């Protein structure tokens, strides 16, 4: 079948092996054709390349199942069609691992996908920070005190950047509730860093790095959903 204008078909399996995979964690929405498109759900990549990805999904999909993906990265949103190659077990605090091979992608989407891997320093590996602006309430764990109101600034697979009205020292365990439009989400974690005092400005919030402690898959999937839908 000839290609439609502005689209490209991904290479055959022998050709795909030339494309490396990178340990990049970005959220995405997906829907499976079984036999018609199901509802859109959220997942996270474990590794990503130009020809495919290893991903975590909420539900197990059979090999050869066709899926549509909408990935969110710093460079933009990428839409791609893929097929399930294999499925594995559920990882600790995560989803069910699947191997996907990309089968079809538009030229513009392919260009955005390639930009994710340029340049290729070590910093590109792991969780990618994505903008996420949601109001929050922070409560110190096992401590009395008035809850702090603030906002998120960005999200990764492993945590959030919080904007708070006063300093919360590193090492402080917090319960953070995100007041998202659909429903609130509460996650536990600890403050791991704070913006240095020399960049604080009177009347402005202070940036805090917040690392999750043992988040469940439902929480991670919901954060992925928020990150993709905020693009």
The candidate with the shortest Cα–Cα distance to 80, out of 50, 46, 59, is 50
Pick the CATH number of 7-124 from 2.40.340.10, 2.60.40.10, 2.40.10.220, 1.10.287.180: 2.40.10.220
The pTM assigned to this predicted structure is 0.84
The candidate with the shortest Cα–Cα distance to 27, out of 88, 77, 87, is 77
pLDDT at 10: 40
Q: How far is Cα 97 from Cα 91, in angstroms, rounded to an integer?
A: 7
The candidate with the shortest Cα–Cα distance to 77, out of 26, 153, 152, 4, is 26
- Dmax over CA atoms of the chain, in Å, equals 67
Half-sphere exposure of 38 (CA within 13 A, CB side): 16
Q: What is the pLDDT of residues 136-187, one digit of tens each?
A: 999 988 766 789 999 999 999 999 999 999 999 999 999 999 999 889 999 9
Q: What is the pLDDT of residues 83-131, one digit of tens each?
A: 999 999 998 888 999 999 999 999 999 999 888 876 544 444 456 889 9
pLDDT at 83: 97
Q: What is the mean pLDDT of the chain?
A: 86
pLDDT at 230: 84
DSSP annotation of 13: H
Asked if the domains at 7-124 and 130-229 fall in one CATH topology, the answer is yes
Topology of domain 130-229, per CATH? Thrombin, subunit H (2.40.10)
Q: What is the pLDDT of residues 37-51, one digit of tens each?
A: 678 999 999 999 999
Question: In the chain, what are the domain boundaries?
Answer: 7-124, 130-229
* 156-178 residues labelled b (16+ CB within 10 A) or e (exposed): bbbbbbbbbeeebeeebebebbb
Q: What is the pLDDT of residues 11-21, one digit of tens each?
A: 444 444 466 88
Q: How far is Cα 72 from Cα 225, in angstroms, rounded to an integer?
A: 10
């Amino acid at each position: 079948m000839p290609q439609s204008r502005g689209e490209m078909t991904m290479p055959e399996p022998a050709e795909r092996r030339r494309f490396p995979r990178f340990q990049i964690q970005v959220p995405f929405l997906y829907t499976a054709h079984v036999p018609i498109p199901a509802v859109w759900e959220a997942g996270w990549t474990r590794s990503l390349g130009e020809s495919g990805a290893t991903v975590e999904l909420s539900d197990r999909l059979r090999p050869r199942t066709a899926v549509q993906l909408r990935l969110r990265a710093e460079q933009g949103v990428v839409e791609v069609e893929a097929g399930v190659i294999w499925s594995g077990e559920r990882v600790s605090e995560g989803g069910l691992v699947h191997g996907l091979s990309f089968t079809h992608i538009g030229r513009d989407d392919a260009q955005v996908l390639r930009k994710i891997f340029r340049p290729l320093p070590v910093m590109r590996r792991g969780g990618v920070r994505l903008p996420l602006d949601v109001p929050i309430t922070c409560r110190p764990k096992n401590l009395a005190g008035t809850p702090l109101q603030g906002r998120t600034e960005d999200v990764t697979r492993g945590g959030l950047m919080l904007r708070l009205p006063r300093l919360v020292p590193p090492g402080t365990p917090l319960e953070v509730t995100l007041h998202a439009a659909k429903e609130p989400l509460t996650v536990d974690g600890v403050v791991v860093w704070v913006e240095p005092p020399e960049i604080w400005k009177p009347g402005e919030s202070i940036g805090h790095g917040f690392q999750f402690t043992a988040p469940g898959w439902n929480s991670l999937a919901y954060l992925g959903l928020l990150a993709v839908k905020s693009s």
